[in-house]
A and B are shown apart, each in its own frame.
Chain A
Amino acid sequence: MHPAFSVVFFTTATGAGYGLLALLGIFGGFQIIPADFWLGIVGLGLALGLIAAGLLSSTGHLGRPERAWRAFSQWRSSWLSREGVASVITFIPAGLFGIGWLFFGRTGGWVAIAGFLAAIGAVVTVCTTGMIYASLKPIAQWHSRYTLPAYLIFATMTGSVLLNALLQSFGVASIAVLALSLLITLLGWGWKLATWRHNDRLEIPTTANTATGLAGGTVRSLEWPHTEENYLLKEMGFRIARKHSAKLRRITQALAFWLPMLLLVAVFSVPYPFAAVLSALAAIAQFAGMLVERWLFFAEAKHTVTLYYGR
């Protein structure tokens, strides 16, 4: 599948944004993190900013972005429509939570309830994003039990590493958040390794034989219907060389998992300003690593239409 940058950025940014929003809602609601004005404005601003930037970026790959409002209508059948509805509805409790935190200076009572509702909305929205990909049967690498948990794990992971960086920067570090960000990064690494292992061993029942209805023997493409690449090949025939794939997997692991884990372990034992710098570096490295991960998620996915072209 062609890794369109608008979609790669969209899923990475909204994942981190919804992860951060959910954790702010939960940790704020339970009063584990202080209702500090500047922490609130930077934290919620970053979360909602990432979400808004991601959603805006996703309209970048639409052919007719001016009609994007129509996408809220078919939630009965379409995961993409459900994603749109869930993302907009989540802004309501998130906004109330922000008003309570920033203008009333409190995160208890009704503000806590708004925070929990925002967290639920964030989880639902990330699930709908994951299901867009997990429900596509022509793409075996996506239509697997690994896809939906991956979206949830990576959203929590990038969100918690961001939250830790914020808390460390404001000098209100929480060991619980630091430990969570470290553990979930480890989980994310394990999940990605398991996913790659699963995908590398995939035995896809759809072949050139079943695609053409020609039973038995071998089916070899002799001639394409066209001489130049068409929409199908540009959009779904994207291929990545095996050697680049191996190298990019190492880059993903180094940036998204190994480096953040090393930095976060170091944060346990260094004092305030250094801990903040290391935490921020962990968040930046992980975001860059997740962009590579999401690029690979597309580039390594093979659509059944490529069978018609002998690919």
Chain B
Amino acid sequence: MTCLPAHPDKKLGLVIDLDTCVGCQACVTACKEWNTGGHMAPLTDIDPYGGHVDGVWFNRVHSYEHTTEMGGRTVNFPRSCLHCETPACVTVCPTGASYKRASDGIVLVDEDKCIGCKLCSWACPYGAREFDSDVGVMKKCTLCVDRIYNDNLAEEDRVPACVAACPTSARHFGDLGDPQSAVSQLVAERGGVDLMPELGYHPTNKYLPPRAHTQRAASVPAKALEPVRAEGGFLGWVDRMLSN
């Protein structure tokens, strides 16, 4: 059913720290590695060794230069499905292939029902859904639904592959519907934000903005190089002779 659950029991999602993300792409490769054999498998690659590489990825890391009056800085920005509370990608689906789970709020695609009309990718403002032209259906982040409830994994591994892989702990996983959860506390403490809040999709995933610039480490630029100018005396004579 493409009608949305009124009150999901939980709101499982990610909190991504833009302050500590170093843009190493470990989450991207870990995601691809797990999911190409997981719930939405395969994550097809088209012409992987040719001149026009293309393929399905659930998670992509952009790099931006954010410039304010306080100065500029590079911000690495992982982009994946935000498992919105009001996901238009689900309600526009004509076949019922897209759905949002009432138990934990995860947005999934039933690949056996998808007709590949691509309308859900038009309805998603974040570019979270990618079309697999080889299989002919739409694919998207599953929040590693096949890891987080997997009794065959050790308890500490029951987190999405991207969270497990992050070397700087920039990615956090938990229930954002519970104000007492670690992720909710982190969002409250760091002023986590929604992406494109003006569109009203109410994303579950939150982003923690980079911490403010501080004056603790004053910038000490190297002394500027002086221009070479003609000198008098012996060195000046050498300079003129060598310049001829």
Query: Which of B63, B131, B195 contacts A211 (CB under 8 A)?
Result: B195
Report whether A305 and B127 are in contact in the complex, using a CB–CB cutoff of 8 Å. Answer: yes
Q: Does B202 contact A (CB under 8 A)?
A: no
Report whether A235 and B93 are in contact in the complex, using a CB–CB cutoff of 8 Å. Answer: no
Chain B interface category by residue count? 35 or more
Q: Does A81 contact B (CB under 8 A)?
A: yes
Report whether B199 and A70 are in contact in the complex, using a CB–CB cutoff of 8 Å. Answer: no
Report whether A236 and B91 are in contact in the complex, using a CB–CB cutoff of 8 Å. Answer: no
- Min CB distance, A141 to chain B, in Å? 12
* Contact A236 B122, CB 8 Å, known A73-B95, A214-B75, A217-B67: yes
Q: For residue B198, which residue of chain A has the nearest CB?
A: A205
Q: Does B3 contact A (CB under 8 A)?
A: yes
Q: Does B144 contact A (CB under 8 A)?
A: no
* Contact A218 B118, CB 8 Å, known A63-B135, A73-B94, A210-B197: no
Q: Which of A37-96 contact B (CB under 8 A)?
A: 61-65, 67-68, 70-74, 76-81, 84
* Contact A217 B66, CB 8 Å, known A1-B122, A63-B116, A222-B74: yes
- Min CB distance, B6 to chain A, in Å? 14
Q: Does A250 contact B (CB under 8 A)?
A: no
Report whether A214 and B64 are in contact in the complex, using a CB–CB cutoff of 8 Å. Answer: yes
Query: Which of A132, A139, A231 contacts B54 (CB under 8 A)?
Result: A231
- Min CB distance, B84 to chain A, in Å? 12
Report whether B209 and A71 are in contact in the complex, using a CB–CB cutoff of 8 Å. Answer: no
Report whether B94 and A212 are in contact in the complex, using a CB–CB cutoff of 8 Å. Answer: no
- Min CB distance, B80 to chain A, in Å? 11
* Contact A227 B53, CB 8 Å, known A210-B198, A219-B64: yes
Highest count of chain B CB atoms <10 Å: which of A72, A84, A231, A232: A231
- Min CB distance, A77 to chain B, in Å? 4
* Contact A221 B62, CB 8 Å, known A137-B88, A137-B200: yes
- Min CB distance, A35 to chain B, in Å? 38
A235 to B91, CA, bound (A): 20
Query: Which of A61, A138, A139, A305 contacts B117 (CB under 8 A)?
Result: A61
**Number of A-B residue pairs having CB atoms within 8 Å of each other in the complex:** 202
Q: For residue A132, which residue of chain B has the nearest CB?
A: B119
Q: Find chain A residues with CB under 8 A from B126 CB.
A: 211, 304-305, 308
Q: Does A271 contact B (CB under 8 A)?
A: no
A228 to B69, CA, bound (A): 34
Highest count of chain A CB atoms <10 Å: which of B74, B115, B124: B115
* Contact A212 B75, CB 8 Å, known A64-B137, A303-B122: yes
- Min CB distance, B24 to chain A, in Å? 12
Report whether B131 and A231 are in contact in the complex, using a CB–CB cutoff of 8 Å. Answer: yes
Q: Which of B170-221 contact A (CB under 8 A)?
A: 193-201, 207, 209-210
Query: Which of A65, A79, A214, A303 contacts B115 (CB under 8 A)?
Result: A65
Report whether A213 and B115 are in contact in the complex, using a CB–CB cutoff of 8 Å. Answer: no
A72 to B28, CA, bound (A): 36
Report whether A218 and B67 are in contact in the complex, using a CB–CB cutoff of 8 Å. Answer: yes
Report whether B196 and A64 are in contact in the complex, using a CB–CB cutoff of 8 Å. Answer: no
A224 to B28, CA, bound (A): 13
Q: Does A31 contact B (CB under 8 A)?
A: no
A235 to B120, CA, bound (A): 12
Q: Does A203 contact B (CB under 8 A)?
A: no
- Min CB distance, B146 to chain A, in Å? 23
Q: Does B2 contact A (CB under 8 A)?
A: yes
Q: What 1/0 flags go to B24-44 for Cβ under 8 Å of A? A: 010010000000000000000
Q: Find chain B residues with CB under 8 A from A211 CB.
A: 126, 195-196
Q: What 1/0 flags go to A194-227 for Cβ under 8 Å of B? A: 0000000000011010111111111111111111
Q: Find chain A residues with CB under 8 A from B102 CB.
A: none
Query: Which of B67, B117, B125 contacts A304 (CB under 8 A)?
Result: B125
Report whether B68 and A235 are in contact in the complex, using a CB–CB cutoff of 8 Å. Answer: no
Report whether B18 and A78 are in contact in the complex, using a CB–CB cutoff of 8 Å. Answer: no
Report whether B199 and A304 are in contact in the complex, using a CB–CB cutoff of 8 Å. Answer: yes
Q: For residue B192, which residue of chain A has the nearest CB?
A: A213
Report whether A64 and B131 are in contact in the complex, using a CB–CB cutoff of 8 Å. Answer: no
- Min CB distance, B111 to chain A, in Å? 9
Q: Find chain A residues with CB under 8 A from B2 CB.
A: 74, 76-78
Besides the known contacts A138-B123, A221-B63, A305-B126, 20 further A-B residue pairs in the complex with CB atoms under 8 A apart? A1-B122, A68-B115, A73-B94, A74-B96, A77-B90, A77-B92, A132-B92, A135-B92, A136-B88, A212-B18, A214-B210, A219-B64, A219-B65, A219-B75, A221-B64, A225-B25, A225-B28, A225-B57, A231-B54, A231-B130
- Point out residues on B near A: beta carbons under 8 Å: 1-3, 18, 25, 28, 52-57, 60-69, 74-75, 77, 79, 88, 90-97, 113-119, 121-127, 130-133, 135-138, 193-201, 207, 209-210
- Point out residues on A near B: beta carbons under 8 Å: 1, 61-65, 67-68, 70-74, 76-81, 84, 132, 135-139, 205-206, 208, 210-232, 235-236, 303-305, 308-309
Residue pairs across A and B with Cβ atoms less than 8 A apart, 27 shown, are A62-B117, A63-B114, A63-B131, A68-B115, A70-B113, A73-B95, A77-B93, A79-B92, A81-B94, A136-B88, A138-B124, A138-B125, A206-B196, A212-B18, A212-B66, A214-B18, A222-B65, A222-B74, A223-B62, A225-B60, A226-B53, A227-B53, A235-B118, A235-B122, A236-B127, A308-B77, A308-B127
